[in-house]
Amino acid sequence: MEILEKLTAAFGVSGRENEINQLITDLVKDYVDEVVTDGIDNVIAIKKGYGEEKKRIMISVHKDEIGFMVMNIDSDGFINLRPIGGIPVSLSIGNRIIFRNGTVGVLSFKKDVENIKNNNVGDMFADIGAKNKEDALKYIKPGDVGSYYGPLCMLKNDRVVAKALDNRIGCYVAIKALTENTKPYNDIYYVFTSQEELGLKGAIVASRVVKPEIAVAVDVTSSFDTPVTKEGNAVLGGGTAIKIMDRSVICDESLIHIMQDICKTEDIAYQSDILAAGGTDAGAIYTSNEGVRTGGLSIPMRYVHGPVGVVDMNDVKACIALLKSFVNQKI
């Protein structure tokens, strides 16, 4: 859990990803043949395979998190914010924000929250305890970036809560699969992509660089097992979710079958991930170059894009087991 705790704690709002880049590089560099960071801040860890008929496989996991940018500071020292990525206002109010320099504040909203779903994210502000604008400017300036503040904690039944589980839990899966699989059959490019929350930008660039023959995007998916959301496929504790489709992609059927067969043979708990909305790096990769056979693995998560999320570590372990086996297949 120490690795996951470090991953979720690291700052890495889209486009401001230096801290999470360095952490991931430090965690994987001794287990791969090469680690490079490209011009858009993708971290690419390359592990060569031994197979005679090996394929070039790209495992894509985005490392950026949603957050906020400071637009301006009013005369009373309150900090006006704009979203970086999709921010659910109703889940954010009253929670804490931490800026990259370590300054902590409280998120609030300028309007009556009774009809919050119709309110503008641009009406959010942060209170850092400043006395006035001059005081606030000692700590924060326009253009600074902040993220939710929510340290990792254990819940009951092997479930964890933390900020940035979307998608640091996917990073954790890739890192565990990478470090535990010393001799893969295929050439594996573990790509920790940037700016997914701004439109899959890192994956667009990385797929052009890597030119994969096969790709798998690992990300979270909504868990349909709360009082708010019950009409869907994936639930906490149901195993790793094999993506069938979302708004951005219909996954390669042959890869779906390979993943399902691995789970049946190796007794790995799995379920299906079928969404009418949302999207992952898979949506950018499968149409890249001359087209790429692309699949997806998902970890069900409650409160997606909220200040904190909840995942089941048994689902995470199942995802790691499936990914480790998949990259060793003769595909």
Which are the catalytic amino acids? 196
Task: Dig out the tokens for 230 from the structure.
Answer: 């019950």
Close Cβ partners of 97 (under 8 Å, ≥ 6 residues apart): 68, 104, 105, 106, 107, 126, 146, 147, 148, 149
Q: Write phi, then psi, for 13 (nearest 5 degrees).
A: -65, 145
Task: Dig out the tokens for 50 from the structure.
Answer: 């031994």
Please report, for residues 12, 24, 235, 239, the alpha-carbon distance to residue 64 in angstroms, rounded to integers and kept in the order given.
5, 12, 24, 24
Specify the amino acid at residue 110: K
The backbone region for 102, taken as left when phi is positive above 0, alpha when psi lies in -120 to 50, beta otherwise, is left
Rounded to 10 deg, the angle between the 2-9 and 18-28 helix axes is: 160
Please report, for residues 250, 258, 294, the alpha-carbon distance to residue 213 in angstroms, rounded to integers and kept in the order given.
17, 16, 9
Q: Which residue reads 């791969």 in tokens?
A: 32
Q: Quote the CA–CA distance of 140 and 161 in Å, as a whole number.
A: 28
Close Cβ partners of 274 (under 8 Å, ≥ 6 residues apart): 232, 233, 244, 245, 246
- If DSSP states are collapsed to H, E and C, what string results for 206-233? HHHHHCCCEEEEEEEEECCCCCCCCCCC
Burial class (CB in 10 A: 0-12, 13-18, 19+), 205: buried
Q: Quote the CA–CA distance of 279 and 286 in Å, as a whole number.
A: 12
User: What is the Cα 225 distance to its own chain's centre?
Assistant: 20
